[in-house]
Amino acid sequence: MIEGNPALMNLRILQAISSGAGNARLLTPDGHTSAVLAFTVMGVVNVTPDSFSDGGLFLDPRAAVEHGLRLREDGAGILDVGGESTRPGAEPVPEEEELERVLPVVEGLAAAGGRVSIDTTKLGVARAAIRAGATVVNDVSAFRFAPEMAGLVASEGVQCCLMHMLGEPRTMQADPRYEDVVGEVKAFLEERLAFATGEGVPEERVWLDPGIGFGKTVEHNLELLRRLDEIVAIGRPVVVGTSRKSFLGKLTGGRAEDERLPGTIATNVLALERGASVFRVHDVAQVADALRVAAATVAP
């Protein structure tokens, strides 16, 4: 067992992720399944014209489904389908348009047996996506923009990811300030978890995410990653999304989005060691390999 390890929460998390809606592919090296850290890679499927690193590449539903299936082959246990960019300064997308973008993709991936999460803050999009086969609601507003989403998750028996964001995407990067970023993010996530359970969502179905890059400076992001174990201590599976984000560019002399894989791998590996268990990334094959090796090293 891995008691005493900062990532010991992970074993319980293995169960939490794979239970319920779960047919998650837990990537555990052969022969080490009892003690090895479990993790799930969440592959990003952005069906948007304007996402910060892959906007416009998969706007055609067929291309998006093909991309998602490739990510699954590469090792993604969950495919996170999104139709609205949350990049800093992004303008909201009307519900109709978001639905048109994501529904055929959710349907296509679910029909092919993929485990799909819907990345949305809108009740109507989440509802339609669940009908189309999504089994996880990934809400970057943590039920703040549409509180009724909690009731939907409860009644449909799906899982949800609740993420911290300071304010809303349009304004979140305008001078974000915290007294203690980790303490405040943790208190926010605890409050949102309490809200969700109060609305009838079983705690076992809730994952939490510190929201790297959502209303945070480079230093805030680093502090959250450095002290991620404090977020893990809440006792729910922790999702991290550092993939290709701008703080990685800033830390490496201005690298462009497509040059940020080394930084993405470094942060995901460290987050695994600190107890995170779901890793939302664009470059699934490479990050999954890095996590496999890291997991075997942390808990052989």
Catalytic residue list: 245, 280
Compute the least distance from the CB of residue 163 to ligand HH2, in Å. Answer: 4
What is the DSSP-derived secondary structure letter of residue 78?
E
238, with CB counted inside 10 A (0-12, 13-18, 19+), is buried
Compute the least distance from the CB of residue 140 to ligand HH2, in Å. Answer: 5
Angle formed at CA 228 by CA 277 and CA 68, multiple of 5 degrees = 35
Calpha distance 122→119 (Å, rounded)? 9
Footprint of ligand HH2 (CB under 6 A): 44, 46, 48, 51-53, 82, 85-87, 119, 138, 140, 161, 163, 209, 211-212, 239, 241, 280
Compute the least distance from the CB of residue 44 to ligand HH2, in Å. Answer: 5
Compute the least distance from the CB of residue 288 to ligand HH2, in Å. Answer: 17
235, with CB counted inside 10 A (0-12, 13-18, 19+), is middle
Compute the least distance from the CB of residue 278 to ligand HH2, in Å. Answer: 8
Q: Which is nearer to ligand HH2, 35 or 174 (CB)?
A: 174
What is the DSSP-derived secondary structure letter of residue 215?
S
Closest C-alpha among 270, 277, 275 to residue 229: 275
Q: Which is nearer to ligand HH2, 30 or 91 (CB)?
A: 91
Distance from chain centroid for Cα 292: 18
Residues 197, 153: contact at Cβ < 8 Å? no
For 262, the token pair is: 């080394």
Q: Which is nearer to ligand HH2, 36 or 53 (CB)?
A: 53
1, with CB counted inside 10 A (0-12, 13-18, 19+), is exposed
Q: Which is nearer to ligand HH2, 8 or 92 (CB)?
A: 92
Q: Which is nearer to ligand HH2, 28 or 117 (CB)?
A: 117
What is the DSSP-derived secondary structure letter of residue 77?
E
Residue nearest to ligand HH2 (CB): 241
Compute the least distance from the CB of residue 279 to ligand HH2, in Å. Answer: 10
Q: Which is nearer to ligand HH2, 53 or 277 (CB)?
A: 53
Calpha distance 194→108 (Å, rounded)? 34
**110 Cβ contact list (under 8 Å, min separation 6):** 116, 132, 133, 134
